[in-house]
Amino acid sequence: MYQNNQTYNPFAQNVSIIKSYFKRKSVLAMAVLYCISILFTIVTIFTMNFVFPELYSNMYMNIEISAQGLEQMGENPFSSPAATSIISIISAIPSIVMTGLIALGYFIIYFKSKDENPSSSPKAGITILYILALISLILSIFASLNMLLALLVLGIVAIVGISNPSALEMSAQDASIFAGVMIFFVVFFAIFLALLLTYSISHFTYINSIKKSISGPVLYNKGAGAYSACSIILVVLVSLTVILALIGSFLMPTILEASGLNDPYIASTFEAMTPMYMLSAFAMVVSIVMYITDAVIARGYKKYIDDITSGYTNPLYTEQLSAIPAMQAVCPQCGAVAKDTDVFCGVCGATINRQ
């Protein structure tokens, strides 16, 4: 609980409060889970470099056999195993770096919070997560703008299909079905867009609240509740994706046979993709555990700060200040309490303003 005494230092006390929460094992678990995610990414790249050439070869041969006259496919750069290897590695580097930095941030937060030394602060780890959350928010905004443009195009196509079927060279019935599918995609992507933006904004707000709490005299927990709720929604969506993917992998041979596409090339292609299906399923399970752990941490942080600040008014911003006898000056830079004779802060060297 906050203390109202002569040497009250909200800056130092807030660091202690934040450390008390983030020294729990769930924070360490998040760091470990992100490391496991990196491991899955590396294993997936390694597997693709051996599986993908055979996979592409089977698909390419099947196209050549079933669709004559597509000789231009031979110019496709993806037909080269070396090209696919380089492309898969380069495309995975940003994800690995981002995930590694997040893991590093959680490791710093956990071990600095566990350190009983008052000068030890998890601020560096929180700053890493803050910067990455800001980058993620910016990327989400750009992705949302692109998706919004796509929704606009789909909406226009749906309207044209309903009002003028001949423009799409379809019958009225086919145009109605087509428009219905377009409307479904518009609604689906609109919901996904709203969830993406809400998740990114709440995540940034949540991390920013922690950063502000550890850097200032006031404790914040804005965004923590919304971020926890969004994480749970993602748990449900990813779980459904895993279930549908597993069902699809088991039913795919039956579907191919029923559709008359069960030739040796397609069969061997899906057989070669089995390791990729397994890796993807395991990676999604790890993601589910990560979202659950993240939701627990965020929800717990919200409750933790609510319990601490419930019924309390910070004396620095109220009339309670006058009730504190001979309160010492506080450094405007780092919040350290200065002596009556100090002109400069003994911790950071900033000038002490006395009024």
The residues spanned by each domain of the chain are 10-323, 325-355
Contacts of 316 (CB under 8 A, 6+ apart): 10, 217
Q: Convert the pLDDT of each residue in 147-192 to its tens digit.
A: 788 777 777 776 766 666 666 566 667 667 767 777 777 787 788 8
What DSSP designation does 71 have? G
Q: Which residue in the block uniquely carries the two structure tokens 């992100």?
A: 34
3-state SS of 149-202 is HHHHHHHHHHHHHHHCHHHHCCCHHHHHHHHHHHHHHHHHHHHHHHHHHHHHHH
Torsion of CA 14, 17, 23, 24, to 10 degrees: -140
At residue 294 the predicted structure's pLDDT band, cuts being 50, 70 and 90, is very high
Characterize 239-273 residue by residue with b for buried, 16 or more Cβ atoms within 10 angstroms of its Cβ, and e for exposed: eeebeeeeeebeebeeeeeeeeeeeebbbbbbebb
* The pLDDT value given to residue 355: 54
C-alpha distances out from residue 197 to 133, 204, 233, Å? 12, 11, 13
Average pLDDT over residues 47-73: 51
Would you call 145 exposed, middle or buried from its count of C-beta atoms within 10 A (0-12, 13-18, 19+)?
Answer: exposed
Q: Convert the pLDDT of each residue in 248-275 to its tens digit.
A: 666 666 666 665 555 555 555 566 566 6
Q: Which residue in the block uniquely carries the two structure tokens 């994800």?
A: 95
- Encoded tokens for 259: 């559709």
Distance of CA 355 to the CA centre of its chain: 46
